[in-house]
């Protein structure tokens, strides 16, 4: 999909996008609290993660501005045990320069549509690193997620304790 002004577009991620995706994610791992990883995964690991999502028929998408990948989002299995198979967990990361222009919302809405189109998914969960992450909480609330709750002090990064905020949205009118 492309926005009205043609300023950005969203499409399915391809293997050739992995190095851009890994670069964007590495910035957030190294400097942000949305991800609780502390060491950026190498490109091969990011490629393995992308394949793992796409191999089980779940969406992994990228946003481009002027042909350059500036963000990505995917829905992975929420938890591996069998009874969780109708529940997914979303992830969205934008390059700093691409934030605050509606792209996060567009990526999340596209992810929801693609999950609903599978016809087999019932719930999407957001596990938001850091209760101070107002941008992520806002983008999920805007996309119809309700607040489930906060797990306090479950992470430790950059020398401080971090909360995890859990939000949830039904899929397909479930």
- Residues binding ligand COA (CB under 6 A): 28, 32, 34, 92-94, 99-105, 126, 128, 133-136, 138-139, 142
In angstroms, give the least distance from the CB of 119 to ligand COA. Answer: 25
Angle at the Cα of 19 (from 64 to 92), degrees rounded to 5? 55
Closest to ligand COA by CB, 63 vs 171, is: 63
Closest to ligand COA by CB, 32 vs 170, is: 32
Identify whether the C-beta of residue 17 lies closer than 8 Å to the C-beta of residue 10.
no
In angstroms, give the least distance from the CB of 82 to ligand COA. Answer: 25
3 state DSSP class of 3: coil
In angstroms, give the least distance from the CB of 42 to ligand COA. Answer: 20
Closest to ligand COA by CB, 3 vs 54, is: 3
In angstroms, give the least distance from the CB of 92 to ligand COA. Answer: 4
Angle at the Cα of 46 (from 74 to 2), degrees rounded to 5? 40
Rounded distance between C-alpha atoms, residue 153 and residue 130, angstroms: 9
Pairing of strands 123-129, 160-170: antiparallel
**DSSP code, position 40:** P
Nearest-CB residue for ligand COA: 104
Closest to ligand COA by CB, 121 vs 133, is: 133
Rounded distance between C-alpha atoms, residue 48 and residue 10, angstroms: 21
């Amino acid at each position: 999909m492309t926005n009205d002004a043609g300023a950005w577009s969203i499409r399915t991620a391809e293997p050739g996008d992995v190095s851009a995706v890994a670069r964007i994610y590495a910035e957030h791992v190294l400097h942000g609290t949305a991800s609780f990883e502390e060491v950026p995964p190498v490109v091969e690991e990011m490629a393995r993660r992308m394949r793992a999502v796409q191999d089980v028929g779940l969406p992994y998408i990228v946003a481009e501005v002027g042909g350059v990948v500036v963000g990505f989002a995917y829905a992975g299995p929420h938890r591996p045990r069998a009874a969780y198979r109708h529940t997914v967990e979303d992830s969205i990361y934008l390059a700093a320069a691409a934030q605050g222009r509606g792209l996060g919302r567009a990526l999340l809405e596209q992810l929801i549509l693609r999950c609903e189109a599978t016809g087999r998914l019932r719930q999407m969960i957001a596990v938001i690193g850091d209760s101070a992450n107002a941008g992520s909480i806002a983008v999920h609330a805007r996309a119809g997620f309700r607040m489930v709750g906060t797990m306090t002090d479950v992470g430790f990064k950059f020398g401080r304790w971090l909360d995890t905020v859990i939000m949830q949205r039904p899929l397909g009118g479930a």
